[in-house]
Structure formats: structure tokens, C-alpha cells
Amino acid sequence: MKPAAARGLLLSSLCLALCCRGGARGSPTSSDNHEWKKLIMVHHWPVTVCKEVEKDCRDPPDYWTIHGLWPDRAEECNGSWPFNFEEIKDLLPEMKMYWPDVIHPLNHSHFWKHEWEKHGTCAAQLDALNSQKKYFGGSLGLYEKLELNSILQKLGIKPSINYYQISDIKDALASMYGVVPKVQCLPPKQGEEVQTIGQIELCFTKDLRLRNCTEPGELGESGRAWGPGLEVCEDGPAFYPPPPQSAR
């Protein structure tokens, strides 16, 4: 698919992603003190997640998974709205597949609880995300519509023992999505030559339209990264590590 055609398809379908999952429900609203401007769809690379926490993860998925859907500059907006696993039970097969807890694979719900309480209660300011069912279902819908795994494959960007240039990855993704993403890396540790790709963010306006993750004049974004040990990737080479069983 040509970049222009792919971009048009994405833009026409993303707003439908939140409409096909979950029903509306009356819900508590966040305080006016928790203002935010954009939503960040955060994908992480499971192999790097395992490396990041220096934990021997068992068979990490060989595809990009969801870290979260996060409003910027707002966290833990409603402490009186606890996570309720029963509300998302019918999403469980997709949640386990696309939103797994890579570090604690036997206790996914702890990860989902954290994401809801820290980020979902803030995203719930939007009618499209104002219940746990709609927040998690909507996040899954956006993940599926963005098709990051498929897009990277089409661009020829695959896990490899060879290095990629960060600028090439960002430019290639921008050509497909029509917006500038943010790519995050683990800095090289002692004995390593280059940084390691860990997360890719794609950002949305409050009306769920793709937008650049950083716009001119925005402050405090250039070096900000989500996740312990991660930093916004430096321009230059980066390692996109294959799963252990695929490494050669």
C-alpha cells in the first residue's frame, strides 16, 4: 500500500476505533486540576522491556504490544474510581494478546489496574473513554487501527542484529501516518555500542485525530520519556533487538 493511501485509510478509520467497543456509562469525572492536551498511544517492544528491567522474561512476544493510552501531564485523576476487572472480562482474550504484562505474565490484571488508575481515570474526561470498558476497548481499537507491527514490516523495519538510524525510522513512520512519532530508547550500557529501541508513541488530539507528538513551542517534551531507564532516542544508530530465540 502506498504511503498516501495508507495514511488516508488510517485517518478515516481511527475515529471509528473507539465506537465499536464498550457502551456508554455514567461515570465520575476528573478534577479541573488535571488538565491535559493530548493522548499518547504507547507501544513497547517486549524484548527491550525485559532488558530494561534486567529481568529474564520468559518468551517475550515478537510483536509490539500496548504499554498504555496516556493523557499528557495528568496522572491519577480520580482516586475514588478503582479498577474493576469484571468490567473488561469480555475483552480478556485481546487484552492478553495485545496488552500483556510482559514482566509478570501470570498477573496481567496488576498491570491493567495500574494503567487504569494512573492514566485511564484521566482519559475518562472524554466521553469516548469514560468507562473502564470504553478506555480499554478504545485503546485496543486504536492499537489495531494503527497497525504498527504491520506498518513497520511494510517499511522493511524488522528486528535485526544490524543497526537502524533513528531519523530513518521516524521519517518512514511519518510518511505512513502523516504525523511525527516519538521513539524512545535505552541508552547504551557499559560495553554496548548503541542505544536500544524500546517504545514508539503516536499521539492524538482530544477529538482523537492523529497529531505530532511534539509541536513547535511545546515545553518540557524534548527529553521526556515514559518508563524507567528510557530516554528519547538520540539521532544516530540504534539496535532493534530480535527475540532471543530469533537472534543469530
Q: Which of these is catalytic: 43, 52, 119, 201?
A: 119
The phi, psi pair for 168, rounded to 5°, reads: -65, -40
Catalytic residue among 52, 87, 94, 115: 115
Maximum distance among all alpha carbons in the chain? 54
> Does 34 participate in catalysis according to the annotation?
no
Measured CA to CA, the distance from residue 222 to residue 89 in angstroms comes to 38
The sign of the torsion formed by the CA atoms of 37, 209, 18, 127 equals: positive
Distance CA 224, CA 231 (A): 7
CA 49, 161, 201, 63: dihedral to nearest 10 degrees? -70
List 43, 67, 87, 117, catalytic entry: 67
Beta strands in 124-207 (DSSP E): 163-165, 182-186, 195-204
- Dig out the grid coordinates for 152 from the structure: 513497520
119 belongs to the catalytic site:
yes
Q: Give strand pairing partners of 71.
A: 39
Q: 144-154 burial string, b = 16+ CB within 10 Å, else e? A: ebbebbebbee
Q: How far apart are the first and last CA of the chain?
A: 30
Contact 176, 165 (CB under 8 A): no
Catalytically active residues are: 67, 115, 119
